[in-house]
Each structure stands twice: as structure tokens, then as C-alpha cells.
Amino acid sequence: MADLKLRHIPWSRSLRILWLMEEIGCDYELEIVREGGSLHDALCPIARVPALSDGNVTMHETGAMTEWLCETRAPRLGRAPGSAGRPGWLDWLHFGETLVGYVIAVQIKGAQNTDSDEMQRLEHGLGLLGDWLDGSEWLLSDFSGVDCHVGYSLWITSHVVGLDRHPVLQAYLSRCTARDAFRRARSLAE
């Protein structure tokens, strides 16, 4: 039996971790929790999901899981504490959660109207991300764990409000979803 176990709701933020574990190529056990089945249920789960167990360690926040997995199993996908790239890596890691927060606010309030405060915040975040990625293939010099984190956030954004006004982000999302590990994670998670 694998040391790693992921509790996952389809469409939820734990897809980030499932994708990351597929990128790493590590053994893990997957428990799929069917809760409600809607996009809203996946974005705002009631149960303590996601959860990643690694031996005696259990985590519920996908940002912490990403750091943990990169530090313990895939240093090539992270940036070590004290390294020059660490601040940017951490910044993008936490930005991924901020972006999903904006999407949740738009989804819950039904605020797809471009004049809503929620939509303006989301558009601002998408603009920042698009500016950063303009001319870059990945968020950092090469693919890393933060691309799983932010890539998921952008993927869910594309399902809630679309990315028609953001061709740079559409291209980035296409690169993310074309990755074999993302495809495997999606097929396992549904």
C-alpha cells in the first residue's frame, strides 16, 4: 500500500494534488468522495476534503500539500527554501488560491456581470497572470508545482466565466491540459 493517500472530490482543488502526484510519478492511493456532484459542491465542499495523508502526516490545504510533495518527493518541481527562485514560487503558489477565491465569489453570487466587484477582482487577477505569462511558457523558468496549482485555478475559471478575452491564458491553459499527467489525473478523478 502507498504511503500517500488523497481524498478527492471531482472538480475540486484536490485535482491540483492529483495532477502533481501524476507529474511526480509516485505511488498513491486515491479515494474519490462523491459529494453533491455540482461545480458548486466541488468548489465549496462540506466534508473535510481534500485531504492528503502521508504516513502520520495529514493535510487539508492544497497549497501546503503542494509544498510538502515538492519538498519530500519532487524537489525538481519546487524551489528549495533559501533558493533564489523560492519567493516567486511561493507567490504563485498562493496566487493560485487567490484566483480560485475570486472564481468562487463569482460563482456563488452569480456575478458574471462584468460590472460586479467580484468579476472585476477576477479580471484583475487574470490580467496580472496574463501579463506575467506573456512571452513565457510556464510561470517560472520551467514547469513546476505552481503550474499545477495555478493551472487548476485557470482551468476552473475557464468553466465558470471563460477565457475568451485572455488569449495568453488560453494558450497557457492549453499547455497545462495537454500534459500527460493532467490528462491522467482527469481520467482518474471522474
Instruction: Mark the ranges of the chain whose per-residue pLDDT is less than 50.
Output: 1, 42
What 3-state class would DSSP assign to 136? coil
Q: Write down the pLDDT at residue 110.
A: 73
Task: Report the 10 Å Cβ neighbour count for 104.
Answer: 17
Q: Write down the pLDDT at residue 54.
A: 95
Q: Write down the pLDDT at residue 1.
A: 45
* 3-state SS string for 21-73: HHHHCCCCEEEECCCCCCHHHHHCCCCCCCEEEECCEEECCHHHHHHHHHHHC
Which cell numbers hold the place of 82? Answer: 533559501
Q: Is this structure's pTM higher than 0.75?
A: yes
Which cell numbers hold the place of 77? Answer: 518541481
